[in-house]
Every structure is written in structure tokens, then in C-alpha cells.
Amino acid sequence: YIIMCLFTDTGLAYFIALFQLGTHFIIDVLKGKCNVWFPLAANPANKLHWILFGFDQFLHGLVIILMAYFING
């Protein structure tokens, strides 16, 4: 948040920080629920675990790209 304030106004920085916090929470909660709904996904020896992990990381990266878009858009 502090670094974002250097590049944008405070209101937008608050929005970006809350957007990051909210989406990070939702993505991680859904990943945790997938591990409960699909017990095989909790086992690192299973391919589904790594597919879910990769999708989780993809979504986190997409959020960062959207944050940059909001700041520069």
C-alpha cells in the first residue's frame, strides 16, 4: 500500500489494496475448499494437486496484472 501511494492517489491505492486482500482471500479459501471437496487434490503425489496449485498461482498472477491495469488505466 505504501509503495502504491507513491505512484497513484490514496483512494485508488486503498481500492487496490482492498482488491488484492479480497481476491487473495477468496482464491485461497476456494483452493482450501477444493482440497476438502476433492481429497485427492490434497495429496502432492496426485496430478490434480499440482493442477489446482498452478491454477491458484495463475489467478494470483492475474490479480497482480489487474492491479497494474487499474493503476495505469
pLDDT digits (tens, 9 = 90+) for 13-68: 889 989 999 999 999 999 999 999 999 889 999 999 999 999 999 999 999 999 98
- Residue identified by cell 489467478 is 59
pLDDT band at 3, cuts 50/70/90?
confident
Q: Which pLDDT belongs to residue 1?
A: 62
| Structure confidence at residue 48 (pLDDT) | 92
Q: So what's the pLDDT on residue 28?
A: 96
* pTM reported for the whole predicted model: 0.83
Nearest-angstrom CA–CA distance, 65 and 63: 5
